[in-house]
Amino acid sequence: MFLPWVLFTGSVLGVLALDLGVFHKKSHAVSIREALAWTVVWVSLALLFAGGILYLRGADDALQFLSGYVIEYSLSVDNIFVFVLIFTMFRVPAVAQHRVLFWGILGAFAMRGTMIGIGAALIHRFGWILYIFGAFLIYTGVKIAIRKGEDTFEVHENPVVRFARRHLPLAPQYVESRFSMRDQAGKLLFTPLALVLIVIETSDLILAVDSIPAVFAVTQDPYIVYTSNVFAILGLRSLYFLLAGIIDRFHYLKHALSVILTFVGVKMVIAHWIEIPTGASLSVIVSVLVIAMIASTARAWWIGVEAADTVDDPRLIPAPDPPTTR
């Protein structure tokens, strides 16, 4: 019973050790090309794993895994927005970003595994809690839809940051990609990168409150919930480096996430009376994401065209100042 869990977790830890110890042994700024290559690798591994589930457990479980994976991967966009804000506010050097994300994601494994175990136990003992999960997802989806303005992250007002600064001995500046250092007196100090890691871990914990119940709307199999979460987290680092510079262009992705969360919440609430097939759920989720991407791309293109027309319109170019006479 526990063998698949042990094999999967051991394989993931082995891949991560290979990633950090071989491919990213030396800290460096991740390029778009490298991020794209790793994104393809992680997505391919997830699809390969889905093929293994198809062979060993059947088509229904494979579709459940793919649905959970797509939900988690799409909800990872929220993480990317948060990462961009955190790295910007803390002025994290580009060469240190991959390292802090690596350890942040490693910590996320433990937190999400614990939350999934608790969620599965609650569902097994109190079946009615699914309705609470569903209502919470609907509430979250509606909240995202009506939210106005941009996300903000006030460093000095964040309680985690205030607690850490009050109780941890912090160095005044970054030291390469290190989380700690010793001063001239030999005292152990934590660098600002350690503070960034703490903030990333707590933000992931908050975001997981939405994403994990969303996967339980697709399946109550803890193994599928766990593996789909892990594969989505594995691909999050490369997705961040791929989209961080252009994330603001995907204007309608927030709306897509709102629709997806509301849909899976409704699916969870009405499951006792109306069961929506897993294949149909996957089709809806993928369709919503595709439509949002196309609409966002079209919007960005149209804004670019209007901006170009504004610059090229001679009527909008201010006339030069008249010559002055002495």
pTM of the model as a whole: 0.84
- Residue 68's nearest CA partner among 236, 286, 271 is 286
The CA-atom distances, in angstroms, between 11 and each of 43, 108, 239 are 16, 16, 21
- Residue 214's nearest CA partner among 281, 273, 291 is 281
pLDDT of amino acid 64: 94
Residue 258 has pLDDT above 50, yes or no: yes
pLDDT of amino acid 326: 46
pLDDT of amino acid 227: 95
pLDDT of amino acid 75: 85
Reduced DSSP (H G I as helix, E B as strand, rest coil) percent helix, strand, coil of the chain, to 5: 75, 0, 25
Average pLDDT over residues 49-76: 93
pLDDT exceeding 70 applies to what percent of the chain?
A: 88
b/e map 54-71, b = 16+ CB within 10 Å: beebeeebbbbbbbbbbb
Average pLDDT over residues 65-86: 86
Average pLDDT over residues 198-207: 83
Beta strands (DSSP E) in 173-241 are 180-182, 188-190
User: What tokens were used for 200?
Assistant: 């990333």
pLDDT of amino acid 153: 54
Residue range 225-239, pLDDT digits in tens: 999 999 998 888 888
pLDDT of amino acid 131: 92
pLDDT of amino acid 292: 92
**C-alpha angle 93/95/97, rounded to 5°?**
70
Residue 23 has pLDDT above 80, yes or no: no
Confidence of residue 260 (pLDDT cuts 50, 70, 90): very high
Average pLDDT over residues 126-138: 91
Q: What is the 3-state secondary structure (H, E, C) of 17-86?
A: HHHHHHHCCCCCCCCHHHHHHHHHHHHHHHHHHHHHHHHHHCHHHHHHHHHHHHHHHHHHHHHHHHHHHH
CA distance 208 to 111: 9
Say if CB 65 and CB 49 are below 8 A apart. Answer: yes
Residue 319 phi/psi, 5-degree rounding, is -70, 150
CA distance 78 to 80: 5
By CB atoms closer than 10 A (0-12, 13-18, 19+), residue 107 is: middle
CA distance 323 to 326: 10
User: What tokens were used for 97?
Assistant: 């970003």
Range with the poorest average pLDDT among 54-58, 69-73, 150-154, 295-299 = 150-154
Domain ranges (residues) in the chain: 9-311
User: What tokens were used for 248?
Assistant: 């603001």
Residue 312 has pLDDT above 70, yes or no: no
Give the chain's mean pLDDT: 84
Residue 147 has pLDDT above 80, yes or no: no
Residue range 178-202, pLDDT digits in tens: 888 888 788 888 988 998 998 888 8
